[in-house]
Amino acid sequence: MRLSRSGLVAAGLAGFALLAASVAAQKPQYPVTRKIDHVDDYHGVKVADPYRWLEDDNSAETAKWVEEQNRVTFGYLERIPYRGKIRQRLEELYNYPKIGAPSRKNEYYIFSKNDGLQNQSVLYIQKGLNGKPEVLIDPNKWSEDGTVRLGAFALSKDARHAVVGISRSGSDWQEYQVMEVATRRMLPDLVKWVKVSGASWAGNGFFYSRYPEPEKGRELSTKNENHQVWYHRIGTTQAEDELIYEDKANPQRFHGVRTTEDERFAILTISDRGKGKKGNSVFYRDLSKGEKSFHPIVGEIGDDSFNVIDNIGVKFLIETNHRAPNGRVVLFDPAKPGVMEDVLPEKPEPLESAGTAGGKIFATYLKDVTTKAYVYSLSGKLENEVTMPGPGTASGFGGNNDDKFVFYTFTSLSYPPTIFRYDIASKRSSVYRSVTIPGYKAADYETKQVFYNSKDGTRVPMFLVYRKGLKLDGSNPTLLYGYGGFNITTSPGFSALRIALLEKGFVYASANMRGGGEYGEKWHEAGTKLKKQNVFDDFIAAAEWLIANKYTSSERLAIQGGSNGGLLVGAVMNQRPELFKVAIPQVGVMDMLRFHKFTIGWNWIADYGSSDNPEEFKALYAYSPIHNLREIRYPATLVTTADHDDRVVPAHSFKYAATLQERQRGEAPVLIRIETKSGHGASNTAKQIEGTADIYSFILYQMGLN
């Protein structure tokens, strides 16, 4: 679906003040959404789906509905008098150089940089760490509107060629091309329909994963099945690619192959989340012997995960949660099948990441959601801790086996991302690159971690950031954010755009609910399938704690979440609508009975369960945002989605918004903002700033702030 904003209502300057004073209290006139008589039978339970027709993203009626909804939404937003000033401030805050940590291949270093407001970051290359940076790839030149982005990049071992992945309008689909690095020339090689893939070089070509070409016109919504692994040789067509692996008997499995640093081994990983299995199997092939078959390291797929970190000769270092819910690193010797020897045994803190560089193992652990980093010998002997600037999040530490130093990035809610260089021999860190945010002084803000008890007594952490001198009088506007799923840790990280709220006296709160990876697999499992209600209870308890401790009140509390977090927002505002003033569900999974029928939605069954299972259906139906909307007063709601989201298809948000508009009995507005030429996230910087400005404006306006 490709839509324009032509015809959107624009408020004139005349009478602007009068409109602004009254618009927040006026319930918009929503477009009439046609209802159909459609009912599904789930294990004997009849479930109506009157807006099923909105799932058709190619129909003219759906396109018209989107245009009409956008007309109402943008007409409302354009009447907020300070919307333009907020966008201007966001541009000022975001207009600073953003540089990624460098990585090395052969004698070259690669890093990304955005000068400030460029729609896409530019990729640079330099010879040696002190060499002169040269532009390698500038995606801003690929399209006039800046919505074509660099989705993947993989440099060959000799640094002569690179795989360049191109994504359009925010879609997860990519096309791979091959660049001749010295000349910057794109070769004729073209690989299409790549998804859930990386590119791993081996000899004169690379491994990648793709799906068969989808039905024309249904590329953004049809179910993705039969994930295949292929090998492409430079200078050939895609039709000549070699099929490496597929499993037609299990069409909803993911298959991926990557190579070890020395390119001796190809590692095949297979997962089957569509059948509710959280783990994976893993196999290897010795390319130095010309092997064509894969040998099992772990042949069966269960709930345990296995990730090959590196090879030490013919042995493999593997990160796994097998018999270790907090994670460990083991050594696997093919001569001893079924045996895994501990290198880094399980600790009380969950293992966040592990990798090798410079002949060492770098491992990061989570201590109450903050990063602790350590250096070990390859045999697992602790050598030292890498000291962080304070509580926060560190990532990176990757490199080659002959590296003398590695890079990592540290950040927190009030500490802008800073790149550090760690010297392996001296065991010392030093600042490599830091940033300056226009008008921002970290000393003006306070970051703290608090703990609260959820409904069942579980102790849950939450991070807060706000201006120093905050008065706990219950009047502070507050934005509470959450995710709570898929073993993903909601780490404390900096956002320059968030400063615009903090300057206005906002408290920003980030809750670390169950379902995430904050405390290992047990914490994750406690927020999945039949236990998903724990996540919602944790979030509601966070809101109640903020109110009870006088940080805010229900009249000054907004909630926000995206994707699985959008589901979170939709579920809790159904269960406790009186607790929140504003709700921002973004690209949410809102129809929990049908999510597995679109694109790769079946991949989420491992976390959510499936409506095809009678017991899981009951749990899903009990909290599904669409199916639990009642005729009551709901908070002011701004639903956001995008026309090229082929991960959580926009039909979720379409059906949810239509249902909420129908059942809202209060005067608070229910709007849906449908971005064009974007996907699961903003496709360029301009759209990111514009979308954030609209969300912030909506929140401020509903709270009566200026």
For the domain made up of 28-92+441-702, give the CATH fold. Rossmann fold (3.40.50)
Coil, strand or helix at 227: coil
How far, in Å, CA of 425 to CA of 383, rounded?
A: 11
How far, in Å, CA of 399 to CA of 573, rounded?
A: 45
Please report the pLDDT score of residue 13 as a whole number: 26
Residue of 200, 395, 680, 683 marked catalytic:
680
What does the block give as tokens for 148? 């074509």
What does the block give as tokens for 510? 């980030």
Predicted TM-score of the model (pTM) = 0.95
How far, in Å, CA of 468 to CA of 251, rounded?
A: 54
Is residue 448 within 8 Å of 368, Cβ to Cβ? Answer: no
How far, in Å, CA of 378 to CA of 636, rounded?
A: 55
Is residue 457 within 8 Å of 533, Cβ to Cβ? Answer: no
Please report the pLDDT score of residue 348 as a whole number: 98
Backbone dihedral region for residue 155 (phi beyond 0: left; psi -120 to 50: alpha; all else: beta): beta
How far, in Å, CA of 533 to CA of 576, rounded?
A: 13
Residue of 563, 610, 653, 683 marked catalytic:
563
How far, in Å, CA of 66 to CA of 44, rounded?
A: 34
> pLDDT below 70 — which residues of the chain?
1-26
563 as an active site residue: the answer is yes
Please report the pLDDT score of residue 8 as a whole number: 31
DSSP string, 230-276: EEEETTS-GGGPEEEE--TTSTT-EEEEEE-TTS-EEEEEEE-GGGT
For 524-647, strand residue ranges (E) read 557-562, 582-586, 636-642
CA distances from 581 to 592, 625, 626 (A): 25, 18, 20
Please report the pLDDT score of residue 184 as a whole number: 98
Tokens 């091959």 — which residue?
A: 178
Closest CA to 39 of 30, 49, 31: 49
Please report the pLDDT score of residue 26 as a whole number: 64
What does the block give as tokens for 577? 């609508």
How far, in Å, CA of 101 to CA of 107, rounded?
A: 16
What does the block give as tokens for 501? 């709220």
Read off the amino acid at residue 29.
Q
Is residue 480 within 8 Å of 501, Cβ to Cβ? Answer: no
Which residues, 6 or more positions from 440, have their beta carbon under 8 angstroms from its beta carbon?
93, 416, 496, 499
Per domain, the residue ranges of the chain are 28-92+441-702, 349-435
Tokens 């404390």 — which residue?
A: 492
How far, in Å, CA of 377 to CA of 381, rounded?
A: 5
Q: How many residues does the chain have?
A: 706
295 as an active site residue: the answer is no
DSSP string, 304-347: --EEEEEEETTEEEEEE-TT-TT-EEEEE-TTSTT-EEEEE---
How far, in Å, CA of 378 to CA of 486, rounded?
A: 30
